[in-house]
Structure 1
């Protein structure tokens, strides 16, 4: 089973023990809001360090699944767990990234990236250094002092990614984060995500409506439809841009599209 390379989280002491990604699971779970379930009987495990992509038609429950893992929605039945413990609410070690950049408009890009570190009570000097390092990693070093409305949508998404990863979360939950971007910017953000995740140990659940994006980024892809988890599939060539037309990738794309059409 494929997993992203793992190294210690950046702002923890190098001499300390490495922190693994979180193991996420749903056990016979019914997901949604009271009186309005979206998914029924979902059993799904995301091993530590894996990147799981989730695809399905609009309204099938993709965002509901993600928000359940984030602790924003309690299961209506069954269990949602992180490392075997029930998910009872949001936690600092599970970062959520939205399609809208969700940056605080009154804070500079640097101030936004520092925010999760401030919540963790990292010293001002250290969080300033970590924010600068992460903004540099996503190509925004020279824009650190700008307010969000002064930069492009792609740059705001880069800043949101830096903010999510600066706090060294054990799980990153991404809700169609590149869906509003143009094709070229979207491909660049996909490549950037792959690059920066090489230096983390985080487990990633990435919701998308784009099958090609799912098959490029994911170690596995989960298929949702008709109020249920239709199944999961191993991706033959994860994060390999040159494998788009490989026979195994093309076969899986046809299978996924067929499952979503009939599901």
Structure 2
């Protein structure tokens, strides 16, 4: 899915946070979005999800107007939002059940995605009986089980410890491989943005920068990646040597 904003104004009535926004997210790419706190990152995501109508301009998907939420655009939040009285398996099945998918098929899809994210042994457990990282794995499985064409992620790993967060980043790259889903991933973490993104959007500056490849942890020491990291940090107002 191609997601596009052209000369858009986003925010709430009487309180715009971004003006003249141009953004073109190519089909199948991972676009990471960074920017200072309060610059409108989450507002942008909700606009692309169809939850917040733009104040000006019109978002589109594949060239057609984007009017309201749709099943082919999944939204993943920092808080896992799992229903506490439903097992992980039942949580993954829920959006499929709402869409009328037959019980046998939705069970098979849920089991498949729980296996992909390493939760087969925990499928029958309630959310409060597993770790935060495992809950986020379940949320990722729930989002992808519906076979969305776009996944919009609002700092989904922000509450995790560093080791779990790194594992979730790698897992995301792995499970997205072959889905061809377009991803817009909002984060405060510059290193996360550069590891995950094919491109990184510096919100508020109008700039979208290509990220050097390959996507490997060791690539963080590559001169091109180091230079890009300094550039992104400078756009956030941080000292370039941080």
Interval containing the TM-score (normalised by the shorter chain): over 0.9
Partner of 1:259: 235
Contact kept, 8 Å, 1:114 with 1:163, in 2: the verdict is: yes
1:247 is the counterpart of 2:223: yes
* CA–CA separation in structure 2 for the residues paired with 1:70 and 1:229: 22
Aligned-pair distance for 1:229?
4.1
Residues 219-263 of structure 1, C-alpha deviations (whole Å, 9 max, x = no match):
000001xxx34311000125222201000000000111112218x
* Structure 2: gaps (5+ residues): none
Partner of 1:158: 137
Aligned-pair distance for 1:199?
2.6
Contact kept, 8 Å, 2:21 with 2:206, in 1: the verdict is: no
1:62 is the counterpart of 2:38: no
* CA–CA separation in structure 2 for the residues paired with 1:117 and 1:239: 32
Contact kept, 8 Å, 1:27 with 1:80, in 2: the verdict is: yes
Q: 1:41 to 1:238 in 2, by over 3 A?
A: farther
Contact kept, 8 Å, 1:51 with 1:219, in 2: the verdict is: yes
Partner of 1:14: none
1:80 is the counterpart of 2:59: yes
Structure 1 outlier segments of 4+, above 3 Å: none
Aligned length: 238
* CA–CA separation in structure 1 for the residues paired with 2:106 and 2:165: 28
* CA–CA separation in structure 2 for the residues paired with 1:79 and 1:229: 20
Aligned-pair distance for 1:116?
2.1
1:149 is the counterpart of 2:128: yes
* CA–CA separation in structure 1 for the residues paired with 2:214 and 2:127: 32
1:190 is the counterpart of 2:169: yes
Listed as ranges, the matches of 1:118-129 within 5 Å are 118-129=97-108
Under a length normalisation based on structure 2, what TM-score does the superposition of the two structures give?
0.96
* CA–CA separation in structure 1 for the residues paired with 2:54 and 2:216: 35
* CA–CA separation in structure 2 for the residues paired with 1:40 and 1:61: 10
Residues 129-188 of structure 1, C-alpha deviations (whole Å, 9 max, x = no match):
111111111111011111111111110000000000000000000000000000000000
Contact kept, 8 Å, 1:42 with 1:229, in 2: the verdict is: no
Partner of 1:47: 26
Partner of 1:17: none
* CA–CA separation in structure 1 for the residues paired with 2:213 and 2:36: 24
Contact kept, 8 Å, 1:216 with 1:238, in 2: the verdict is: no
* Structure 1: gaps (5+ residues): 1-21
